Amino acid sequence: MNITTTLVLLKPDTVERGLIGKVISRFEDRGLRIAGLKLLIASPELAKSHYGDFVERYTPKLGAEKSQSIMDEMVGFLTSGPIIAMAVEGVEACPTVRKIVGSTYPNEAPAGTIRGDFAHMAQDYANKIGITVKNLVHASGSPEEAEIELGLWFAPEEIYNYKTVHQKHTLE
């Protein structure tokens, strides 16, 4: 097992609903360490970089027009208000964070996860009314993805190394 760092974004719906503290505490309660944290409004360029090759990956499945439309919706939502970007560190941080966050679609996320407890949007409903699924958080899907995403959102000097009490009792 390795100590790794992953990216978590608290999207505008988390910030606007006043859930920042509740969501961050979920990670800290599991013994993960917040190594970097900032409040910002993402530029369209940053949001597009974050979603990367989405259009290219989904064009074969959805078609170019639909893929671009979804990308535009995601970028629009991510840039619609303040977000919190976090570098979260711990043992196998990426899969641990993904478990805490829950399924991408909140209606499929089990109770006890962030999305299962605080969101209720279903993909079919969002598609029916033409909006992006508001699922509160983004969590990197793999350690490789986390490395790329952390580089987009944080400069190396914005990620800090310190020991928590949890580390002193469980990792040494």
Q: Are 142 and 3 in contact (CB under 8 A)?
A: no
Looking at residue 110, what DSSP letter applies? P
Per-residue three-class SS string for 57-82: HHHHHHCHHHHHHHHHHHHHHHCCCC
Strands 83-91 and 33-40: antiparallel
Is 138 catalytic? The answer is yes
Looking at residue 104, what DSSP letter applies? S
- 50, 120, 138, 169: which is the annotated catalytic residue? 138
Active-site residue list: 138
